[in-house]
Structures are given as C-alpha cells and as structure tokens.
Amino acid sequence: MKTYCTLFTLATILFITSCRSEEKKYYRFMENGDLIRPTDYRSWMFVGSAATPKSLDSSAVFPDFQNIYIDPESYQFWKENGYYREGTIFAKELMREGDSLSHIGRGFYQGDFYSLAFTIKDTVRFPYAKGGWEYFDFTNFETLLLDETSAVLGVKGECFSCHNVNKDGQGPYTEFYPILLDAKNYGKGNPESKSERAGLDDTVKEFAGVD
C-alpha cells in the first residue's frame, strides 16, 4: 500500500508539473521569427477601449477607437498574482469614428475596423526588450488587407518610444484600463461581481448638482 501511495503521489506531482510547464500560449512564430497573425482574439478578455477621435484631436496617433483584449489565461494570472505572466499577449484593434448621433445622444461611436496589432511578453525570445515586451502590426494599407505574418517592430520602432513612458516603463498601458486595475491581485473571484462602484458617488452628485 505504501509503494502504491508513493507511486500515486509521484505521478500526481509529475502531472501537475507537466501542466504548469505547458501553459497555453495564444501565439505562434514562423521559423524566421515572424509572428503568425493570432485569431479569435475577440473571444479573449476585453479590458477596455480608448477613444482619441481625429475630429477632436487631429494629431491623435491612433484615431479613433482602440479596443484592447488580453488572452484569458494571462488575465486569470494577472487577477491572482498582480503581474503579467510570461507569454502574455494583448491585441489592439482599431476602428474608425462612426456616426456622431444616436437615440441616446450625440457622441463618439465606433465605426469600421481598420488596424490590428499585438504586444507579447516573452523574455526568452526578446531578451533585449525591457520586460520582454515586443510589438507586431498586421495592418497593410497597400493591399487593404491584414497580413498573415508580422516581423517584430523592434526597439527602434515607434511602439517602444511611446510605451516606455507609461507607468510601468514598458508594456501595456495598464493605467488606462480600469478593468485591469480593478482585477489586479483580486484573487479567484471576479471584481465585477462586487456591489461597490467607485464612480457612483460622483455620478449621484453630478445629477444632484453638487460640487
């Protein structure tokens, strides 16, 4: 019985170790190092949308809307540990500004999709990049299609010069996405299930005309 239990325990340890070492990755590379365009990213965890309408700011770097997604396993890891795991991938999908008027009021509404980019944390593949974050862009304005593969944009690319001024000094602009901020170190549960809403008090004051 002792031998059986010992073998069972050893097998369990090996199984758990194997599972941990084979964490799912949501990206694949060609032999030449180019990233194969990831698919199904809209089924990942949506973490927010930034709006920089060109009609409001003609100098906007990425007009007009930016929808950001993180792969689900990395979101769970972030929620439980408070930092991004090796193999984290973010998708950034850009959309044009749509109609400015709807039945709920005048504003900025999302229009047609036009660009797709990704950032990946892989310190083994990108040891030269701070934090292991590298960037890829699949937008082709000549063919008017998305490319099937993308070479790394590299440290001399515009992505690095912009992202190295974010709060973490490289990688995603976590500070711009309340969904990520709310989830950091939250644990096994889900923060959206809480009854608290930090902005509710200000909203009540706004409707009541209180400064």
Whichever domain contains 112, its CATH number is 3.50.70.20
Cα–Cα distance, 15 to 136 (Å, whole number): 35
Q: Could you tell me if residue 143 is inside a domain?
A: yes
Structure tokens at 156: 């001399």
- 96: alpha, beta or left, given left = phi > 0 and alpha = psi -120 to 50? beta
Count of structural domains within the chain: 1
Q: Could you tell me if residue 206 is inside a domain?
A: no
Render pLDDT for 79-105 as a digit per residue (tens, 0 to 9).
Answer: 999 999 999 999 999 999 887 777 777
Render pLDDT for 5-23 as a digit per residue (tens, 0 to 9).
Answer: 544 444 444 344 444 445 6
Q: Could you tell me if residue 211 is inside a domain?
A: no
Q: Could you tell me if residue 210 is inside a domain?
A: no
Report the pLDDT value the prediction gives residue 64, as an integer from 0 to 100.
Answer: 81
Q: In 3-state terms, what secondary structure has residue 98?
A: coil
State which residues form the domain around 174: 28-188
Q: Could you tell me if residue 77 is inside a domain?
A: yes
Q: Could you tell me if residue 122 is inside a domain?
A: yes
Max CA separation in the chain (angstroms)? 75
